[in-house]
Structure 1
Amino acid sequence: MTVISISMPDELVDRLDQFANSHGYSGRSELLREASRNLLGEFEDRKLEGRELMGVVTVVFDYETTNVEEKMMRLRHEHEGIVASNFHSHIGEHYCMELFVLEGSLDEISTVVGKIRATNDTLTIDYSVLPVDDFGPFADK
C-alpha cells in the first residue's frame, strides 16, 4: 500500500481523529480511505449516465474573511450553460449561502461540484443530483 502525505488544518485533523475514535475506525488512514472511496464513487452512479440531470448545490461561507462570493460568481459565469438558477442569501451576522440549481450531464454537474469543493474557505458544501426525467409525465409514481 502506498503511503501519502497531506496537509490540513489542525482543527480538521482533530475532528477526523475524534470521528475515527467515536465511530470505531482503526485510525485516520482507514477513515480517509473510506471517505476517498465515497467521494470518488459519488459521480460513478451508472443509473445517471446519459441522462439529463438536475443538481442542487448549497455553499455556506463566512463573507467577512473570504472571497468565496467572488469565486462563486466566476463559477456561475464560467458554467452559465448549465446554471439554471443561482440564489444568494445572508445567514446570521457573518455568513452567506449560495445555492446553485444546475441542469446538465453527469460530467458537467460533477465538474461544477468539483470546482466548488476545491474553493478554499467554504464552511460547508452540500448537493444532490436527480434525473430530470424522474419529474416528467411518464415518471414512475
Structure 2
Amino acid sequence: MPIVSVSIPESLLEKIDVYMEKLGFVGRSEFVREALRRMIEQLEAAGEGRERRTWIIVTVTRHDEGSTADRKVIEAFHSHQPLVRALYHQLLDDKRCINIAVVEASALELKPLMSTVRRIRGVERVWFMPV
C-alpha cells in the first residue's frame, strides 16, 4: 500500500486520537482511510456531471478582532448569487459565526465556489452535501 504524507495541525491530531480510541480504530491510518472513504462516498453520491441538484453548504468562521473571514465567505456566496437560493448567517459565540447556504448547482458549477470558500483564511470548517 502506498504511503502518503500529510501535515495535520496538532489540534486536529488530538481530536483524531480521541475519536480513534472512542470508535475502536487500530491506528491513525485506519481512521484517516475511513474518513476519506466516507468523503468519497459523499462525492460519488453527489454526482460529477452537469446535473443540477440542491446542496447545503455550511461554514464556520472565526470573527476575532481583525479577522475578515466571515465577510469574505458572505462575499463568496454573493459573487455566486445565481446559484444561491438562501443564505443564513448567525453568531455561534463571541468568536465564531456559522453560514448555511442552499445552493442549486451541478458539481462543476459548485467547484469554484467551494474552492474560493476553502481558501479563505479564518474558515474553520466547511461541510457540503447534496440534498
When normalised by structure 2's length, the TM-score is 0.78
Distance 1:18 1:79, change over 3 A: same
**In the alignment, what sits opposite 1:68?**
69
**In the alignment, what sits opposite 1:39?**
39
> Take 1:102 and 1:46, find their aligned partners in 2: how far apart are those partners?
13
For the aligned residues, what is the CA RMSD?
A: 2.6
State whether residues 43 and 110 of structure 1, in contact with CA within 8 Å, keep that contact through their aligned partners in structure 2. Answer: no
1:26-62 deviation per Cα after TM superposition (whole angstroms, max 9, x unaligned):
1001111111122122121277855431112121222
Aligned length: 130
**In the alignment, what sits opposite 1:20?**
20
Unaligned runs of 5+ residues in structure 2 are none
Larger radius of gyration: 1
Distance 1:59 1:22, change over 3 A: same
SS of alignment partner, residue 44 of structure 2: coil
> Take 2:47 and 2:111, find their aligned partners in 1: how far apart are those partners?
15
- Identical columns (%): 22
SS of alignment partner, residue 3 of structure 1: coil
1:68-109 deviation per Cα after TM superposition (whole angstroms, max 9, x unaligned):
223313422442331223232223322212121101113323
Deviation at 1:120, TM superposition (A): 4.2
- Of stretches 109-118 and 99-108 in structure 1, the one that deviates more from structure 2 is 109-118
> Take 2:129 and 2:97, find their aligned partners in 1: how far apart are those partners?
20
> Take 2:14 and 2:125, find their aligned partners in 1: how far apart are those partners?
17
